[in-house]
Amino acid sequence: MNRGQTEAIRVLAVIPGSKDDINSMIFSRRQVQSLLEKGIDVRTFYLYDRSSIKALKQERKELGKLIREFKPMIIHSHYGTITALFCAFSSSLPLVITFQGSDLNKTSSDGFLRDLMGRFFSHVAALKASRLICVSNKLKEKFHLNKSKASVVPIGININEFQPVSKTEARSYLNWNQQEKIILFNANNPKIKRLDMAEETLELLKKTIPNARLEVLSGYVDPDKIPMLLNASDCLLLCSDSEGSPMIIKEALACNLPIVGIDVGDVVERIQGLDNCVIAEKDSVALANAIEPILKNNSRTEGRIRLIKDQLTEEDIAERIKQIYMSILN
């Protein structure tokens, strides 16, 4: 295949979850859209029922029907564990697997056996894959036998959707108090994200900054609201036990929001050296000491420039994935 023939590339994307839940695996869905805009012909198969062998057999029939109709050249599994294993044993087509974090990292909230089996399935599927995509270097290091097949490609950010807005305007939109010092914290998995540590950090901060407040994102949050939440905050805090390449970090960078994080996932790579962004020890005292001057200075950062320089926009990432597809077909 010639490099210019991208319009001929047909890829079947397999995404875990329900087709109707538009917020499930939203970043994978957005990546599919960015690939379509690059001229790749992508169809999506949603692997909804993974509850039993019987259910997976039925899903395999549906996948086989779509493969016969669409005739893809590549299957791209947008997650490891059962999703990747399902793809690996459902077709002999070249397989690309994107590993996103909890499919390779220990995830204690899943329960010991489920967590262990999920990671085992990821590594078995990797043996059958043509290429592996890891969203951070630390995930790539999880592989030994298959490291030569792995590329580090984070998920990209739509910089038109995530862009700086004045804090005053964003707070007016959200009906937030203009005087509060607000720390944004993503707690969609409170145990892994360490909500307990974030709350301890806030209590320490309130001794010197009484109007400090923790804005906790837990449960369902309208994705369209996230840019305003970032722009309305004074700082983002991340202190998770494990991460792949946390999207909230890149979203914050796109909005020039200061960040205090720990050495987890690719956080150091994303924010190190930026003004008003700090890598701290994984300790509530250290985190509070790092956040305090940011709240007092009332400054932003230049994360958006870094994000663009590091080629982490959706368009940049789609181009890199397109090149992976082409290398397989060539």
Q: Could you give the residue ranges of the DSSP H alpha helices within the chain?
A: 26-37, 53-70, 81-88, 112-128, 137-140, 167-174, 190-193, 195-205, 226-232, 247-254, 267-271, 284-297, 303-309, 314-329
What tokens were used for 13?
Answer: 């994307």
Half-sphere exposure of 69 (CA within 13 A, CB side): 10
Angle at alpha carbon of residue 246, lines to 299 and 98, rounded to 5°: 150
**Is 136 in a helix, a strand, or coil?**
coil
Residue 308 makes CB contacts below 8 A (sequence gap 6+) with: 159
Phi-psi region of 181 (alpha: psi -120 to 50; beta: other; left: phi over 0): beta
Supply the pLDDT for residue 109: 66
Under DSSP, is residue 90 helix (H, G, I), strand (E, B) or coil? coil
Please give the model's pTM, rounded to 2 decimal places.
Answer: 0.91
User: Looking at the chain, which residues constitute the CATH 3.40.50.2000 domain(s)?
Assistant: 6-156+313-329, 167-309
Query: Is CATH 3.40.50.2000 correct for 6-156+313-329?
Result: yes
Residues of the chain with pLDDT under 70: 1-7, 108-110
DSSP string, 40-75: -EEEEEEE---SSHHHHHHHHHHHHHHHHHH--SEE
CA–CA separation, 160 and 207 (whole Å): 38
Q: Do the beta carbons of residue 274 and residue 303 sit within 8 Å?
A: yes
pLDDT of residue 4: 46
Can you give the pLDDT at residue 206?
97
Distance CA 274, CA 278 (A): 8
Please, are residues 94 and 73 in contact by the beta-carbon 8 Å criterion?
yes
What pLDDT, on the 0 to 100 scale, is given for residue 1?
Answer: 55
**How much is the pLDDT for 216?**
97
pLDDT of residue 327: 95
Instruction: Write the DSSP string, 156-214.
Output: PB-TTTS----HHHHHHHHT--SS-EEEEEE-SSHHHHTHHHHHHHHHHHTTT-TTEEE
Q: Which of 161, 162, 159 is nearest to 315 (CA)?
A: 159
Q: Name the fold adopted by 167-309.
A: Rossmann fold (3.40.50)
The predicted structure's pLDDT at residue 3: 46
What is the per-residue pLDDT for 6?
Answer: 46
Closest by alpha carbon to 258, among 191, 164, 195? 164
Angle between helices 195-205 and 284-297 (to 10 degrees): 50
CA distances from 14 to 63, 71, 209, 213, 329 (A): 9, 14, 48, 40, 19
Measure the CA–CA gap between 133 and 99, rounded to whole angstroms.
6
Tens of pLDDT, residue by residue over 151-185, are 999 999 999 999 999 999 999 999 999 999 999 99
Residue 326 and residue 1 in contact, taking contact as beta carbons nearer than 8 Å: yes
C-alpha 183/C-alpha 232 separation (Å) is: 10
Stated length of the chain: 330
